[in-house]
Chains A and B, each alone.
Chain A
Amino acid sequence: DGGITQSPKYLFRKEGQNVTLSCEQNLNHDAMYWYRQDPGQGLRLIYYSQIVNDFQKGDIAEGYSVSREKKESFPLTVTSAQKNPTAFYLCASGTLQCESSYNEQFFGPGTRLTVL
């Protein structure tokens, strides 16, 4: 469904633990993004990456880290420094090809993280 997958679907973490959320896409998209969604709120950008081995902070990067070692993969680590990590995390990807100056983003199914 859309060629972008996230795992796990549900994740439970104890306070003080780091956890890593997986995001994979087979759409050959250049750009990948991580968003956080809290109940009744919109999506807020955590990190994004335009190319392998490069990424930039979004609006709420504190307490999170990412890597982009492969074009297809963009894992997100929620560290113990994130004070309120319970949320729905969505990964997205999009093309940055020159012939298209616009970017339709496709979303993965999301990971629901709960801190116990």
Chain B
Amino acid sequence: GENVEQHPSTLSVQEGDSAVIKCTYSDSASNYFPWYKQELGKRPQLIIDIRSNVGEKKDQRIAVTLNKTAKHFSLHITETQPEDSAVYFCAASLGSARQLTFGSGTQLTVLP
């Protein structure tokens, strides 16, 4: 099956700085890579995703890059704000039911 590793587990940045979270996956057949943001006690919310036929995708302050050869993808958040503080999860999709395998999460703290 698929295995997804995520780093770092915790990340603190000053407001206005950039944050980068990295994930690697094991199965080259995975074709869809979403990122979810989860605030304390709440449901995960999709913030951006990327398909395997695309190398980079950007949505305002958030961007995701994918390197299929190296089997890794990254989340980039620029101009961080306190409301960006949350746990972020990466995932990879594989299988006929397109089930997701999740990374272990990154606790991002944006310091004012």
Find out whether the CB atom of B32 lies under 8 angstroms from the CB atom of A102.
yes
Please report the C-alpha to C-alpha distance between residue A25 and residue B49 in the assembled complex, in whole angstroms.
22
Find out whether the CB atom of A42 lies under 8 angstroms from the CB atom of B31.
no
* Stretch binding the partner chain, chosen from A12-20, A70-78, A79-87, A103-111: A103-111
Find out whether the CB atom of B100 lies under 8 angstroms from the CB atom of A45.
yes
CB-contact partner of B89 in A33, A40, A43, A96, under 8 A: A43
Find out whether the CB atom of A31 lies under 8 angstroms from the CB atom of B100.
no
Of listed B36, B99, B104, residue having the most chain A CB within 10 A:
B99
Chain A's interface size range is: 20 to 34
Find out whether the CB atom of A50 lies under 8 angstroms from the CB atom of B1.
no
Name A102's closest neighbour in chain B (CB-CB).
B32
Find out whether the CB atom of B104 lies under 8 angstroms from the CB atom of A102.
no
Whether A42 touches B51, Cβ cut-off 8 Å, given contacts A90-B44, A102-B32, A109-B42, is no
CB-contact partner of B51 in A33, A102, A105, under 8 A: A102
Could you pull out 28 A-B pairs where Cβ atoms are within 8 angstroms? A2-B43, A31-B98, A33-B97, A33-B99, A41-B104, A41-B105, A42-B6, A42-B89, A42-B104, A43-B102, A44-B102, A45-B100, A49-B97, A50-B97, A56-B97, A94-B98, A96-B97, A96-B98, A102-B32, A102-B93, A102-B98, A103-B93, A103-B100, A105-B100, A107-B43, A107-B45, A109-B42, A110-B43
